[in-house]
Structure formats: structure tokens, C-alpha cells
Chains A and B, each alone.
Chain A
Amino acid sequence: MSWKSPKAFAAILLASTLLVGGCGNSGNDKNNAAGNTGNSGNTQNEQKAEDTSPVTFTFFGADASPNWNNMKDDVGKVITEKTGVTLDAEYDVGSGGGQSKIALMAASGDVPDIIFAKNEIGKLIDAGLVLDLTDLIEEHAPNIKKVIGENMNRLKYSNEDPAIYQITTNVGVDQQNFDAGGGFEIQQRVLKELGYPKVRTVQDFENVLKQYMEKNPTTDGQPNIPLTLNADDWRIMITVTNPAFIATGAPDDGEYFVDPQTYEAKLHYKRPEEKEYFRWLNHMYNEGLLDKDTFVQKDDQYKAKIASGRVLGLIDQEWGYQDAENALKTAGKDESTYAHFPVTLSEDYEDHSFQTAGLDGYGIAITTECKDPVRAIKFIDWLASDEGQVLRMWGVEGKHYTVDENGTRVVPADIQDRKVNDSTNFTKESGIGQYRVLAPFYGDGVKDSTGNYYTTNFPDQIVAGYTEAEKETLKAYNATTWKDLFPAEDAFPAKEWGALYNMPVPTDGDYQVIFQKTQDIIRKRIPEAVLAKTTDFDKVYDAFLVELDKAGAEKMEAEYTELVKKRVSLFTGKEVK
């Protein structure tokens, strides 16, 4: 083509448009916003008449906080009055996470005095912008020391750099759960009709579904579905693959199983007992009890089926089908909501859903830009005091709660009503929930010196939220909440390696690529194994395990094992080989 003609020029332009059009398709960003933080706060506690002269600290929070009211709320006013501190706060926008904002801070060195940086703290630490709090806590923060207690090691950054850069504030210390939302689910009407049978093993679960199905093949003229699962994208982990370790007595460590003695990590699919779990699923499919649409349906179809009330059993977490269950409640089909059971492969196993990971999370940090770090740590320390915690969680006494003659904190009915039905305005006015991430706190279920819970979540409230049908089922099983049916937290030791989903993995090298490859294999082969003919199951499953190793699983597991060991020795101070 000739460069002299305008035509050629036009051709180049066209070609270039195509060129750029061709390469413009990859700008997709994935937000891994793990760990959510609410906010809240309130109290009164006395500080030893320390310096309460007015001071302003700048603050950045990596979670969006649309209800932030510049401390003009009730709780904020009390905090300023007691400590003299005013926060000039900025929060991330949109879905939060702070990635770009904090990357900019790290590059420019322009950081606020106090920061809640979530996953991005590493960038600031690498840029040398975060203070080591070890000595500050030791000298000036008795309340923080008290709340964190034995968990101090878990705040350390790494073996190479055992400094404390952040104090965990997105999870409560010694948090207990009051309700169970997981396990295996069966509709209340099924249990009622069969006279509340014992549901402990997958065999019991299967029998219940089968017996009911034989008696009642349809609901409202449409065929009943004994069991359906949701394999749409990542949901396959929640309803298909995670239950394999839940039903075989292993705790949730993501895609891995960590041997508690040797700390060897391996893909949990390699455990022989899990093969037996998938064999049971295969059996369910071949018996016609597992919905044939399971691996094809989309999330919305799954929920639509549940909302129609004809799905008898599920293996899911409550948040996964909450919308559908709410629709059932609205439609007055209470009896079609689900009961939760800690079902396992046989009675030799125990459901480990409530094994705690211990304190492990994101936290609050003080930067090198802070002019008066001592004052800042004292501020955080005051918020971590009993007075500070009650103020942050409950609000102002006499306004948001009252103390009755027995010394029990009570939330008046009108306030409770506003919390539920007018929560945005209430949060803005009261500030309850807005100051949660600023300082460590005790989790749900921990009582203070007055015998009251530190937080406003406690069992009575959970029960008040149950429907009549749920209460009836629970009564038949002699339980108050679903959690009563499950082994409790104290049945298991806290995991020495914390929450592995919080553990940073190497972004360089092959680790991520191998992980992605094994994920692809798992999501393809597990459905294949479940849908195989009974006689082919062994063949398919064994080939699946071989394929994993061929993709480099062993190398990846070895790398992961090293990381787990380092973490254990960091958290516990133990020497791990």
C-alpha cells in the first residue's frame, strides 16, 4: 500500500483501531475483599486524667463507610470529650479494599496518622511507613494488652520481621458463634412427617430424603427434588467440595488439609475419606436422589427451586440460600425452611465447623507520619478499655441502652426498632458501629465484669429471630439454637496456623499458576466423578488425583507447607522443623 495516498492513511487508522480494540479486553480487576468490618463504638471509662487537650488525628479506613458523620454522632462526641481526640477520617469508596488509594500512599509517602489498611498493609510496611507498636503497647497500652492477652504473638508480622505493625480489629477476641448456618439441611415439614428422626450420618440423611420422597413425590403438583447443590462458579466449593472435609471431620483450611502434627499441607481431595464422601454423592446421583441439574444450573435457578419449596434437602451455608428462604417465609411456607444438622460420613467423624482459627485478621496501624504516637496509642487503648468497648458497641448509657435494677444492659424497644428498620439514619445519629475497627474488642459471647455481654449479639436475640416451624423442630431435638446440635468451639483446640485464607501466598513464580490449574481440574473432575457410573467412580477419581500431581500439585503443596510451618512458629513461638 502506498503511503502517499490518504487512503493508506485511513487504512492505518482502521488497522490501529482494530489493534487496540483487540487488546483492550483484559482490564478486569478482581477485588478480593475478604474480611468485612462494621463499625461502632461507645463507652465511658476513666483514663488516669491524662492529656485530654484537643488533638486531631488523620485516619484512613480501607472499607467504605457511607454513614461516617465526622464524629458529630453521639458516640463520637463522648469519645472526643473523654480523650480530646478528633478524627479527620477518610474511607475508601465503592466496594472498598483500598488497593489503589494505599498503593498511592505507599508511592508518595503521604499517609494519615492512623490507618486501617486491611490486605494492603504490606505495601506500607514495605515502604517503611508503619511504626512497630511493640514498645508502645508495652509501655502505654494496658487495655490493649488485656484484650489481646495470649494472642500477642499472632500480631507479629513474620519470622524475619517479628514487629507488631497492626492490632487486629476486624474480628473480636474469643468470639463465639451463637447459631449454626451450615451443615446439612432438611426441610422442617420432612422432619415433622417422619417424626423427627435422628440425623447424624450421610446414611441417615439419605434415608430421610428417600422415605419422604416415596410418600410425597410432589409439592403443588410439581415433582419434589430430594437434594440439589449449587455448582455455579465458586459456589461449587461451598456446596460440593467443602462439605467433603466437613463431613469427614476436618476443619476449614480452604483447599488444603493441614496435618495438625506435622503441619504438612495437601489438597484436601487427597484424603482417602473424602473419596468416600464423593462416592456417596455419586451413589445419591445414581439413585436419582441428587438433582440432575446440579452441575448445570446457575445460582438464580438454584434459588428459584428452593423458593418453590420443593427441594427437600441441601448441603450449603445459610447465606447461600438466604434469599430463597426469606421468600419462603414471606409466602407463609414456614414449614419449607431448613433445619441444620452436623452430618458426617459415619459416626467416627465430628463436624469441625466451629473449630476456631484464633485471633487472625486485619487491624489498626500507626504510621511514621504521626507526630505523637504515644497519644495515638493511648487513644486506641482507651477505646479498647471496658468503657470504650461498651461505648463503641452499645452506645451512650441512658440514650441507647439502660441498665436495669439487676445491672443488666437493656436496649429499649424503640431503639431496637430503629436499629432494624431505620438503621442508616440511626447509625449516622448514634455512631454505634462506626468506631469498631479503631481498636481491638472482645467478640460475641464474652461478658464483662458486670456480667453483661460486650457486644449486642447474644442468644436471646437469635431465638427471637426463628420462625415457629424452626422452634418446633428445635424443641423436638431438645435444642434452643441450631448450634446446640453441633460440637461447640471448646471441643477442639484453636488452630495454630490461624485462618489460612488470611495467609499471604507468593505472587511470583509458579505457585499461583499451579493453583489455578489444579482449581480447573478440580472443578471439572469432581462433577465428572459424581456423575459417573457407579462402577467407573474409582477410575475417574484416581485419574483425577493423578492429574492433580501432573499439574504440579506436589510442588505447590510443599511450598504451602513451608508457609504454614513458618506461620505456626510465628504464632506459637514453637520451633517447627
Chain B
Amino acid sequence: METLSEKPGTRNVSVTPKPPKKRKQGMWQSIVQQKYLYLMSLPFVIWLFVFNYLPIWGWTMAFQNYKPSKSFSEQKWVGMKNFVDLFQDERFYLVLRNTLAMSLMGLIFGFIVPIFFAVFLNELRGSIFKRTVQTVSYLPHFVSWVVVGGIITKMLSIDGGIVNELLLSLHIINEPIQFMAEGKWFWGIVTASDIWKETGWNAIIYLAAITGIDKELYEASRVDGAGRFRQIWNITLPGIRTTISVLLIMSIGHLIGIGFEKQFQLQNALVKDYSEVLDLYALNYGINISRFSYGTAISMFTSVVSIILLLTANGIMKKTTKESIM
């Protein structure tokens, strides 16, 4: 990750010692030179191999009609059948649409809001107030989705839910709205609750990057007559640009694997066509009915798409901004 940051004045410059000679000398020479570093990283490489590479063996299940009681050699091989079934199922496309819609909305808002939050929080004077706001804002991160699901449903309820009460008392609406029963509201509700829960937490990394910016830069710009917004635009934002790019690339990589907790907690029968995401589909149509192979096929699809997205995003960023994570 040494290309992360080459900007002067930022402190997250890579600490890896630069190889004293040119790369042309090849990998072996540099390995010999840095043998202790390599030795030190060995345990982690082994850990990674055991827990992240060996399990890929399980993908063989996707090409079998897997039965847990049989040994590997007794399993029946079915070729691409599970994938054919998957791509022929109408529900799969519906579920894919929901997954992409919710993760794109999450990416756009869940990515921008914390940056704004961090930048503006940084501009606040009075460190006690600032710290209090920061702490309060990241506390929801520790609340489990089970609880959040309950709170949101209650808040949006028509039986004394605070949102409807508020809207009614402001005369914006005449009748309470059944928010949770409308499919078209669901994506928005999920995105909004995610922002409420995660903004403070996601802002921490930006706040840390901002503290890394050299204070002299601000002083110098003030001497030159730059106002608050000019400072934000010309110093703060460029200062955290590398952090932003890295996080953006990573979240694009996770675009299709958005988990299922939120949707699982907030869904109900009426909005199922909008709430079911890939992971829930894998649960309902795979594991819960003992179709382990089908579930594996879905996971394989997710993983491959994730890698493609990651590499694409990385490539584009590399071309356009010269920043990348590999």
C-alpha cells in the first residue's frame, strides 16, 4: 500500500523503507535484503492462507449435489446445474436489483455524509463540545440491528409513531402514513437508518486523517487571506483525498455483499419484493432447505462480482487520480 500517499505535509506517508536499489534487480534480491521483514510477516501469511484460502476448497460444493453425511468422494457431481438454476430463477434478478439498489444508495449517502460530518466537526471550536458530539454520534454504531430495527419500526408506526405524530402536528399530512408497508419507501428507510447508525463511526477515520494535516498550512493560508470555506476546499479536502479514495475503492469492492442484518430486521411480508437481498435469498432458498450447493453457488457469484468491481474501481481510480490500493 505504499502508493497510498505521496502528498507532502500528510503524516500517513508509508513507513516501509524504500529499496535502496532499483526494482529491476528483481524480487529475490529484495527478499534476501529484507529477510527479517519477510520472516516477521510469515505468521500472518500462514494465518491468511489457512483461514482465507483453504476454505475456497468448499467452492467445489457448488458443482456437486452436496449431502453433508457423505464423504467428498461419494458426492455426486452435477456440473453447472446450480448456476443454471440460479440464473434461470426470476427471483434472483429481483433480489439482485434490491441488493444493488440498496448498496448503491448506501454507497452514495453513506460515503458522502460522514465526510461532510467530519469536515464540519473539525471546524467547530471548543474541544469539549466537539468531543461530546463525536462520542454521541458514534454510539449508535454499537447498537445492534435487532434493537435498531425495533426502534425504527416503532418510530414509523401509525400507532403513536413519532414521525407520523410530527408530520401530523405540522400539518404536512392529514392521515398517518404506513411507511413500513410501502415497498417504495423501504430502500430509503434502510439507507436512512444506516446513515443514522454509522455516520459518526465512519467519520472517525476522516477526523484522524484531518488531524494529520500540517497546521502550518492553515496558518499560511490565513495569512494569505483564505476564509473558512477556502481552507476546507484547498487544504482539508485535498489532505484527506487519499483516505477518501482508499475507502471508496474498498466500499465498491463490498458493493454486492452488503450483508442482511438491516433488511432482515426491517422487512415484513408486505415489502418482501423490495427487501430481500442476495444473502437472504441464499439463506431462504439455500441453507434453510438444505440446498448447500445452491447457497455456495450464490456465494461464489457474489465473490466473483466483488473482485471484478474491486479491480475495476481500482483501475479507474489509478487512471484518473493516480491513487490506488494496489
Contacts and interface: CB of A to CB of B under 8 A. Distances in A.
Interface in B282-319: 282-291, 295-296, 298-300, 302-303, 306-307, 310-311
A231 B269 CA distance: 8
A298 B283 contact: no
Most buried by B among A14, A23, A512: A23
Interface string B240-255: 0000000000000110
Contact of B306 (A11, A13, A19, A107): A19
Interface string A252-283: 00000000000000000000000000000000
Interface in B239-273: 253-254, 256-257, 259-260, 268-270, 272-273
Interface residues of B, number: 65
B220 interface: no
Q: What does DSSP make chain B's interface, helix, strand, loop or mixed?
A: helix
B223 interface: no
Nearest to A23: B299
Contact of B69 (A3, A19, A21, A103): A103
Contacts of B289: 507, 512-513, 515-516
Contact of A295 (B59, B68, B270): B270
A562 interface: no
A333 interface: no
Contacts of B84: none
Interface in A132-179: none
B157 A301 contact: yes
Contact of B178 (A29, A296, A516): A296
Contacts of A297: 153, 157
Contacts of B300: 23
Contact of B1 (A10, A22, A24, A27): A10
Given A20-B52, A296-B153, A301-B157, A523 B269 contact: yes
Contacts of B306: 18-19, 22
A491 to B, nearest CB: 35
Nearest to A4: B27
Contacts of B291: 512-513
A526 B269 CA distance: 9
Nearest to A508: B65
Nearest to B268: A296
Nearest to B258: A25
B48 A26 contact: no
Given A19-B307, A30-B287, A292 B178 contact: yes
B149 interface: yes
Given A6-B30, A298-B153, A516-B289, A25 B259 contact: yes
B178 A301 contact: no
A144 B255 CA distance: 62
Contact of A5 (B27, B48, B279, B296): B27
A295 B307 contact: no
Contact of B48 (A16, A107, A300): A16
Contacts of B279: 25-26
Nearest to A300: B150
Contact of B298 (A11, A26, A295, A524): A26
Most buried by A among B48, B154, B268, B306: B268
Nearest to B53: A16
Contacts of B154: 301
Given A15-B310, A22-B299, A26-B287, A295 B268 contact: yes
Contacts of B272: 520, 523-524
Given A5-B23, A28-B287, A516-B284, A13 B48 contact: yes
Interface string B80-99: 00000000000100000000
Interface string B26-57: 11001000000000000001001001110110
A296 B157 contact: yes
A507 B273 contact: no
A17 B302 contact: no
Contacts of A103: 68-69
B158 interface: yes
Nearest to B71: A107
A26 B290 contact: no
A296 B270 contact: yes
5 contacts: A18-B307, A22-B254, A22-B256, A24-B55, A231-B268
Given A7-B3, A16-B48, 14 more contacts: A3-B27, A14-B325, A15-B307, A17-B52, A18-B254, A18-B307, A21-B254, A22-B256, A25-B279, A26-B282, A26-B295, A28-B283, A28-B287, A29-B287
Interface of A: 1, 3-8, 10-11, 13-30, 103, 106-107, 123, 222, 225, 231-232, 236, 291-293, 295-298, 300-301, 305, 507-508, 512-513, 515-517, 520, 523-524, 526-528, 531
